[in-house]
A and B are shown apart, each in its own frame.
Chain A
Amino acid sequence: MKYILTGGGTGGHVYPALAIAEHIKEKDKDAKFLYIGAYGKIESKIVPAKGYKIKYIPASGLPGSKFSLQFITFILSLFLGVFKSCYHIIFFRPNIIIGTGGFVSASPIFAGRLLRKFKLTKAKLFLHEANAEPGKMIRKAGPMCDGVGLSYRSCLEYFKKNGKYVGYPVRDEFKHGSRKESRDRLGIDENSFVVFAVGGSQGARTINRSIVDSLKFIKDMPDLKLIHVTGKGTTAYNGVLDTIRRFGYNSIDEKDFPFYSRLEYADNIKDYYKAADLIITRGGGTINEIAVCGRASLIIPKANLSGDHQVINAENIKDAGAAEVIYEDIIIDNNEFAVMVSGKKLSDKLRELYNNRDRILELEENARKYIKDSGTDKIYEFIVQIINNNITKDPNEEIIEKNPYANYGAVKLISILSSMTKDEVISNKYLEYLRYRTSHYFNSDSWQVRNYAVKLSGLTYAEEKLPFLHKLFNDKTKVSLIQRILGGEYQQVSFIRRNIMTSYRQIGRFNETVEKDILNSLSDNYFETVSEGLLNVCHFSENLKGNEKIIKEVERLLKHKNFLIVINAVAAYTKFIKNINEFNKFSHIFFNTNNNVRQAVIEALLDLNHRGIVEDKATIDGFLHRILQTTTGFSPVFKFKQLIKDFEV
């Protein structure tokens, strides 16, 4: 048999291809391979080193905009790529073309389809998707293939016709070996609790920094051993240097932590996996390797990738009970927003698992169960089925429930959440995911996006976001001169300040910073912020009882020019009235031209009446006679529509 392999761009697309090839080699002794990749990408280093023949075709990623120069180069390279692939396919005469994703794999698949139409080749087409959310290319090319192998069941809904759950191709070597053997080889004590942290070959900043940050919190655990692989890093990020700097930033010395050992790169990674009790990792393909090893993992998925696929990967495994997940979060690091996991959060999770070995065993057991009946064997079986044209469907294959929010943008999330009640949100299975999404909007340069973060904080009732809201509210960085001339003020625009006030009310948690912000909001320049602030005063009136400063501010606002502020100020001030004589504070608005304002005064009197502060008719009548009672507004009643509404259905 002859096989064409294609896929590249990142290691996540190349390694599965190689794992599949290795397995095929084992089963099919006279297999011949040709790898089609892009020049200068990671596959041009790895693939020849493994002894496979590689041919290069041009490839470039799909740009976001359809009206850019990159789009033209994309189209051109796609055409050239298809043309060159046709040439390779005709001369290599493969039985099957195996693609593992990445933009380079689009051209051979299209070429194969094209040639088959003209009966120039008999090659079958097979795509393998390594993630729980298919990439753009696979989504386009998948339907024209003979079969699509999927690593996660949640992906099935995209390829209902030709998709099949086959699992992730993990190299066969991971299947064998025991913990004791590996520990002996690495010289690790048998009884220690080994945590192995690795962020992929290039290293992951979040994992590196969080591990260093967490060290001081886990000092007291006996027989803990923490092995940390920083990764060699890329040109943009140097894992080793960054880790060492992080020690300095925390003003701690590496030598003070004897249980901690730092490596730049782990050659025999399988031994480390096998030796570990818990593995801290990213949410890419490695989580499958760990599962094959039958080890428990603590996944920190990388945020903001296309379709949030690492998060969905992690959730798939978490749902199977085979891993724990910590989401990357926004934290205030060095007085700036940063995306990472705080050392405290990570150490808390570690301690929890350290103290609960049964949970570790359960995770290991579930990991083995999760990976059972999948992997390279299943993929090879599927490939053979495709070549022989007798594809069988798995009878008990079912589409599992999937995170419905991953594909939504912020605006859609806001509209969904605002139509849900508080109980529905709090009891939502994906609440943690929603809060994680919220976190990532805080870090944006555009105020519109930060505004989403503020709104979502309120809508997800996220108490832990209060410090960020507080920080945004007190950030008084000025905007450009032109904007200031037109009426703009700060980078944290008026809408953000207003929505922070709304979110405080939704979250409903009162503390000192909230109190301070409410006081500041009352002297804000933007009318809606002030009026929302006043609503907060109403909402938290019980907590604010003794705060003379705020009561004075509210009293000042009773004389404000803006009717909206006056209305809310009346309501807020009423909450603090203990004696009916204080009602005369409103006397200057008894003849206000806006009837809504006068209505607010009457509502205030009614409130006092309900609270039992004023009860005798004479006093009430006395006040009512002093209030102008004409109206410029009335709500019409449409009898016709009212009747329709009256039907009980």
Chain B
Amino acid sequence: MFQYLSYLSVDHKFLSFLRLFDSIMFRSMAAMITALLFSLIVGNKIIILLYKKGMRDIVRDYGNIGVSDKNGTPVMGGLIIISSLVFSILLWSNLRSTFVLLSLSAILWYGYIGALDDIKKVKYRNSDKGMKQLTKIILQGIFALVIALIFYLKETTPFPDGLVSNMTIPFIKGNFFIDLGWFYIPFATFTMLAISNAVNFADGLDGLVIVPSIVTGIVYGVFAYIIGNIKFSEYLLFNYTPGTGELTIIMSALFGAGLGFLWYNCYPATVFMGDTGSMAIGGLLGVTVLATKQELIFLIAGGIFVAEAASVLIQEKIGINWLGKRIFFRAPLHHTFQFRGISETKIVQRFWIVSIILAMISLISIKVR
């Protein structure tokens, strides 16, 4: 919204300082601070509200030490993240950009699915009695397909000609990409679905999801800034896509909102984000990944999420349901470490370290190409 102020600087010389509101750097910083402050102020009120409404967690019993002690912590803290993200995005980004609108709708849609799931789980007093997997996948899939179509169809696509169905291959010399053609639609749908679910799988320990999300957000914020800037993209051999700079602002807002949430979520947690938060973050990251066309980099930048999701799928679908054995000690991955007797805080902080290392590796791909 504040971006509109910069229009005044064109007509009125004495208001030229309002040009500041056109600068992506300035708006990013402002968005981050807004989101952070908003979540800090609103956080406690939301937590008390959730507690009063009876939105309290029932933890599955994995036979792990410490898990049972978290019974009754308010869940659905994702509302803190969503509200501060939306507030900050509305204030600081260009609301006429397709990317911003898609990001906003992704946050709300996926947050809504997650909230339905959370409410169901609380209602039946059982973490396994949430929404049916199929319903969830269908609801997520509809949105993913819509996003894929919007990006692909000529009438609606925000990408310049010739870039629409590209997939960038990182770490290969020059600006190397493959044109997927119509196959882009299933590819984009799958990417969107996979990312939103992967973030959901990782949710399990205090602070485990939020920090890797922030870190991945930073990586994609940087990518978005470069791709959206005509000079940088030319210099660093990226395909220039106008308008992606707005995503940097959104990623900064995610950084702020995430930190604000971590304030309450750090061990021992006062509130859990629940599916509401993890889905919303997953949806937002999915849109950003597709918009920057850096899908493959997510395998590294979001390596934590990928590993968690892969371990769950391999364990459940291949191991337990088909072969009749456990392939890993426990799944998702963090439970393996808990099962080995490593304390929760230690696991979480090690995951943070790993996610930062992975982020650095993925940032190297900016120059190593």
- A contact residues vs B (CB 8 Å cutoff): 447-448, 451, 479, 483, 486-488, 493-496, 526, 528, 563-564, 594-596, 599, 632-636, 638, 641
* Interchain CB contact (< 8 A) of B341 among A488, A632, A641: A632
Q: Please determine whether A493 and B325 come into contact, CB atoms closer than 8 angstroms.
A: yes
Q: Name the distance in Å between A645's Cβ and chain B's nearest Cβ.
A: 10
In the complex, A425 Cα to B342 Cα: how many Å? 37
How far is A493 from B323 in the complex, measured between Cα atoms in Å? Answer: 7
Asked whether A596 and B323 contact (CB < 8 A) given A486-B318, A635-B66, the answer is no
Q: Which of B326-369 contact A (CB under 8 A)?
A: 326-327, 329, 340-343, 346
Interchain CA distance A192-B319 in the complex, whole Å: 62
Contact of B342 among A451, A493, A526, A633 (CB under 8 A): A633
B268 touches A496 (CB 8 A): no
Q: Are B325 and A633 in contact (CB under 8 A)?
A: no
Contact at A594–B66, with CB atoms within 8 Å? no
Can you list 14 contacts pairing A with B, beta carbon distance less than 8 Å? A486-B323, A487-B319, A487-B323, A487-B327, A493-B324, A496-B324, A596-B340, A632-B342, A633-B341, A633-B342, A633-B343, A633-B346, A635-B66, A636-B69
B268 touching A638, Cβ below 8 Å: yes
Is the CB–CB distance between A528 and B69 below 8 Å? Answer: no
A495 to B342, CA, bound (A): 26
Partner of B324, one of A495, A595, A596, A641: A495
Interface residues on B, range: 10 to 19
CB-defined contacts of A594 to chain B, threshold 8 Å: 340-341
A561 CA to B326 CA, complexed, in Å: 16
Picked from B69, B318, B324, B342, the residue with its CB within 8 Å of the CB of A494 is B324
In whole angstroms, how far apart are the Cα atoms of A634 and B69 in the complex? 13
Q: B322 at interface (Cβ–Cβ under 8 A)?
A: yes
Q: Apart from A487-B325, A564-B329, what are 16 other A-B pairs with CB-CB below 8 Å?
A: A448-B324, A483-B322, A486-B318, A487-B323, A488-B324, A493-B323, A493-B324, A494-B323, A494-B326, A495-B324, A526-B325, A594-B341, A633-B65, A636-B69, A636-B268, A641-B69
Which one of A488, A528, A638 contacts B326 once the chains associate, using CB atoms below 8 Å?
Answer: A528
Q: Say how far A323's CB is from chain B's closest CB, in angstroms.
A: 41
Q: Who on chain B is nearest to A528 by CB?
A: B326
A496 to B320, CA, bound (A): 11
**Nearest residue, chain B, Cβ from A492:** B324
How far apart are B327's CB and chain A's nearest CB, in angstroms? 7
In the complex, the answer to whether A451 meets B324 with C-beta atoms within 8 Å is yes
Question: Contacts of A495 on B, CB cut-off 8 Å?
Answer: 320, 324-325
Chain B residues, Cβ within 8 Å of A487 = 319, 323, 325, 327
* Chain B residues closer than 8 Å to A638, beta-carbon distance: 69, 268
In the bound complex, residues from chain B placing their C-beta under 8 Å from that of A528 are 325-326
Instruction: Enumerate chain B residues within 8 angstroms of A486, measured Cβ to Cβ.
Output: 318, 323
When C-beta atoms are compared, the residue in chain A nearest to B320 turns out to be A495
Of chain A, the residue at the smallest CB distance from B68 is A641
Q: Which of A448, A451, A488, A636 contacts B66 (CB 8 A)?
A: A636
Are the C-beta atoms of B343 and A632 separated by less than 8 Å?
A: yes
> In the complex, which of the residues A486, A599, A633 has the most CB atoms of chain B within 10 Å of its own CB atom?
A633
Nearest B residue (CB) for A526? B325
- Closest Cβ of chain B to A66, distance in Å, is 15
**Inter-chain contacts of B268 with A (CB < 8 A):** 636, 638
B314's nearest neighbour on chain A, judged by CB, is: A486
> What's the Cα separation between A499 and B347 when bound, in Å?
30
Residues of A within 8 Å of B322, CB to CB, are: 483, 488
Distance of A489 from chain B, by nearest CB (Å): 8
What is the CA–CA distance of A448 and B322 in the complex, to the nearest angstrom?
A: 9
Q: 5 closest A-B pairs (Cβ-Cβ)?
A: A493-B324, A494-B325, A596-B341, A488-B323, A633-B341
B61: shortest Cβ distance to chain A, in Å? Answer: 12
A55 CB, nearest partner CB in chain B, Å = 45
Bound state CA distance, A496 and B324, in angstroms? Answer: 8
CB of A568 to closest CB in B, whole Å: 14
A480 to B83, CA, bound (A): 52
Q: Which residue of B lies closest to A525 (CB)?
A: B325
Task: State the CA gap A569–B322 with chains docked (Å).
Answer: 29
Query: In the complex, A636→B206 CA distance in Å?
Result: 14
With a cutoff of 8 Å between Cβ atoms, the chain A residues found around residue B325 in the complex are 487-488, 493-495, 526, 528
Cα A425 to Cα B319 in complex, Å, equals 32
| Inter-chain contact A632/B323, CB cutoff 8 Å | no
List chain A residues, Cβ under 8 A from B327: 487
Q: Closest A residue to B346 by CB, please name it.
A: A632
In the bound complex, how far is the Cα of B322 from the Cα of A483, in angstroms?
8
**B343 contacts across to A, CB distance below 8 A:** 632-634
CA distance A632 to B340 in the complex (A): 10
Q: How far is the CB of B207 from chain A (nearest CB, A)?
A: 15
The chain A residue sitting closest to B267, CB to CB, is: A636
Set of chain B residues within 8 Å of A634, measured between Cβ atoms: 343
CB distance from A59 to the nearest CB of B (A): 33
Residues of A with C-beta under 8 A to B323: 479, 483, 486-488, 493-494
A607 to chain B, nearest CB (A): 19
Closest-by-CB residue of B relative to A563 is B340
A60 and B319 CA atoms in complex are apart in Å by 40
